[in-house]
Structure 1
Amino acid sequence: MNWRLFPILAVAGLAACSSEARIAALRDSEIQLQQARTQAWVNCSAGADCDRLWTLTKKYVAQRSVTPIRRADDTAIETTEPHMFGAVYVWATRTTDDAGASTIRLKGMCRGMYRADGNPGWLYTSCAQQIRAVERDFRVFVGAAS
């Protein structure tokens, strides 16, 4: 074998392994994000209990979002989008059915997490970690049963 060719092949092999590792890490991170998102909700049926949970949700959003709340009513809590990249901002929605039962859902977002084409952005890893923490801790904060 030509010894000058060996370093080139070694670097190419490492690059391929590195790409596969990055893809696997991205896939694992997306799975963890989806799991956190599926747990970032609470149900309630009594009006007073739902109002209490909604008040706690508003407090949680205010504490966990880097930007202030711009809108809060009976159905939505929205914060402003941050100007800086890598900062998590949080929204919540409350839907109520005809019987009066409500579902409160929380959603963490992060500017710079994804590029315009939908692929991971340069702050993906940091954003994903922050969002997972915000969404994972929501139920505990409001005192919901697992």
Structure 2
Amino acid sequence: MFQARQATGPLEELEAFIHPEARLRDRDLVSDRPGRGFERSGPGSHAEEPDSTVAEVETGNFALELSRFLLKGRNEGRFDALILIAAPAFLGSLRDRLDDQIRDRILLEVAKNLVHLDAFGVRGYLPERLYSSVDTRG
């Protein structure tokens, strides 16, 4: 999480969120094979496929954790506006979990995985002017 104190200024890192489970493949997260199901109409069995993969569940958990952090920060008056930058799939998962109070404060979304970049590198993907000095949202 980064902050810009000036509309055209640099970013400074405020917080680092690490959730390695959301990046692992299912086979790295679980040790058991899928359960077995049996056909009613004849002999044989097949592997039961889960509705969601373990990685999807972990991604959802991480998105929920971030959405709660953002809501708490908003309620504490820590920010007025947000720019969300995340890998496309995670951005969608996060967006699905955001409260209306947070959604109303999003100025821009960037669907890119920039986790490997520092503040200076991330700033290069953003507009020169991040926000207006006059808040027109009311």
TM-score, length of structure 1 as denominator length? 0.24
Identify the structure with the greater helix proportion: 1
Identify the structure with the greater strand proportion: 1
